[in-house]
Chains A and B, each alone.
Chain A
Amino acid sequence: MAKVYVTTPLTDEQVRQIKAGDEVIISGVIYTARDAAHKRMVEDLAAGRPLPFDPKGAVIYYVGPTPPKPGQVIGSAGPTSSYRMDKYTPEMLRQGVKAFIGKGYRGAEVKKALVEYGGLYLVSTGGAGALLARAIKEAEVIAYEDLGAEAVRRLVVENFPTVCIHDVYGGDLYTEGQAQWAKPDAMVKPGAAGSK
Chain B
Amino acid sequence: MREIHVDQIKETIARLVQEANFKLEPDVTQALARAQTLEEAPVGQAILMQIINNASIAESEQVPMCQDTGAALVFLEIGQDVHLVGGNLYDAVNAGVAKGYTEGYLRMSMLDDPIRRVNTRNNTPAMIYVDIVPGDKVKITVDCKGGGSENMSQLKMLPPSAGWEGAKKFIIETVANAGPNACPPLIVGVGIGGNFDKCALLAKKALLRPVGSPNPDPDWAAREQELLTEINKLGVGPMGLGGTVTALAVHIEVMGCHITALPVAVNIECHSHRHKEAVL
Q: Is the CB of B235 within 8 A of A182?
A: yes
Mark the stretch among B195-203, B240-248, B250-258 that contacts chain A.
B240-248
Q: Is the CB of B169 within 8 A of A130?
A: no
Q: A126 within 8 Å of B by Cβ?
A: yes
Q: Provided the pairs A178-B236, A181-B244, A192-B173 are in contact, do residues A104 and B148 lie with their beta carbons within 8 angstroms?
A: yes
Interface residues of B in 22-41 (CB under 8 A from A): 40-41
Q: A195 within 8 Å of B by Cβ?
A: yes
Interface string of A92-129 (1 = CB under 8 A from B): 00000000000111000000000000000001011111
A63 to B69, CA, bound (A): 13
Q: Is the CB of A125 within 8 A of B50?
A: yes
Q: Provided the pairs A78-B67, A188-B176 are in contact, do residues A131 and B181 lie with their beta carbons within 8 angstroms?
A: no
Interface residues of A in 58-82 (CB under 8 A from B): 63-69, 72, 75-78, 80-81
Select one of A78, A174, A182 contacting B180, CB under 8 A.
Answer: A174
Q: Is the CB of A181 within 8 A of B237?
A: yes
Q: How far is the CB of A37 from chain B (nearest CB, A)?
A: 13
Q: Is the CB of A64 within 8 A of B67?
A: yes
Q: Provided the pairs A66-B106, A81-B181 are in contact, do residues A188 and B173 lie with their beta carbons within 8 angstroms?
A: yes
Q: Interface residue count for A (Cβ, 8 Å)?
A: 54
Q: How far is the CB of B236 from chain A (nearest CB, A)?
A: 6
Q: Is the CB of A76 within 8 A of B65?
A: yes
Q: A143 within 8 Å of B by Cβ?
A: no
A81 to B152, CA, bound (A): 11
Q: Provided the pairs A75-B67, A181-B41 are in contact, do residues A130 and B54 lie with their beta carbons within 8 angstroms?
A: yes
Q: Is the CB of A66 within 8 A of B69?
A: yes
Cβ-closest chain B residue relative to A134: B57
Interface string of A161-174 (1 = CB under 8 A from B): 00100000000011
A147 to B173, CA, bound (A): 35
Known: A129-B65, A177-B240, A181-B243. 16 other contacts (CB 8 A): A78-B67, A78-B68, A81-B148, A104-B148, A125-B50, A125-B239, A128-B50, A130-B61, A131-B54, A177-B237, A177-B241, A180-B242, A181-B237, A187-B169, A187-B230, A188-B172
Q: Residues of A at under 8 Å CB distance from B?
A: 36, 63-69, 72, 75-78, 80-81, 83, 103-105, 123, 125-131, 133-134, 147-149, 163, 173-174, 176-183, 185-195
Can you list 6 pairs linking A and B with CB atoms under 8 Å apart?
A: A69-B105, A76-B65, A127-B65, A130-B65, A133-B63, A187-B169
A-B interface, 3 closest residue pairs, ranked by CB to CB distance from nearest: A177-B242, A182-B235, A104-B181
